[in-house]
Amino acid sequence: MLLRLLRNGRITNSIKTVQRNWFVRSFTLYCEFPRPSILLKKHDYPILSQLHEFSQNSPTRCRADSLTYDKACDETLDSLAEYFEELVDRSPHLKDADVTYGDGVLTVKFGEPYGTYVINRQTPNQQIWLSSPFSGPKRYDFLGGQWVYRHDGITLHELLEREVQRIVKHNVDFRRCQHSRPTSR
C-alpha cells in the first residue's frame, strides 16, 4: 500500500498531504524486497520520525532459505521440548506440569499459578512465536544462528532462561539447547 501511494507521488495524512519529493529519499534493498528509506522532517512529524529512527536501529532481518529455516526450527523446538521435559522432571513442586510437542507447536503447561508457554513455528514469516504467561507474545527471527526478538534484541533462549528459572526454582541453562548461541564467522 505504501509503495502504491509513493508511486502516485504523495502520501495522504489525516492532517495534510506530504509530497513525494521531500518525503522519500531513496529505495533501499531490504534482503530481496524493496523497502523505502524515509527522510522525515522531525519538526513536522515527530512521531513518524521517531518510529523511523527506531526501525533503523533494529537488527536487519533477512529471509533464510526454506531448508535452513525448517532445519533450525525443528532443531530448536526438539531441543527445547527435551530440556523442558528434563526441567519438569527435576522440579517436584510442579506436579501438574505437562510438556507436549507436535506439528511445530511446543506447549509447556506449568499449572497454577505459573501458566502456559506456547512456542510454535510460523513458516510464512520464517519466525518462531512465543506466548509467555509473564512477558506476553513475541516473534523471533533467525539471525546469526539465534532466534532474536527484533524489538529488544533479546534471544528466545535468554528470555526463557530468565522466566523459567523463577518457575522451576533452580538454575537453568538454555544455552545447551540448539541455536542458543550465535554462529561464529
User: pLDDT above 90 covers what percent of the chain?
Assistant: 60
Say yes or no to pLDDT of 148 above 50.
Answer: yes
DSSP 56: H
| 157-184 confidence digits (pLDDT tens) | 999 999 999 999 999 999 999 999 988 6
Q: Buried b vs exposed e over 102-111: b needs ≥16 C-beta within 10 Å? A: eeeebbbbbe
Find the mean pLDDT for residues 118-139: 96
Q: What is the pTM of this model?
A: 0.65
Distances (CA, A) of 181 to 3, 22, 59: 37, 42, 16
| 90-119 confidence digits (pLDDT tens) | 999 999 899 999 999 999 999 999 999 999
| Phi, psi (deg, nearest 5) at residue 80 | -65, -40
Say yes or no to pLDDT of 67 above 80.
Answer: yes
Set of cell numbers at residue 4: 502504491
| 133-143 confidence digits (pLDDT tens) | 999 999 999 99
Q: Indicate the pairing of strand 116-122 with strand 146-149.
A: unpaired
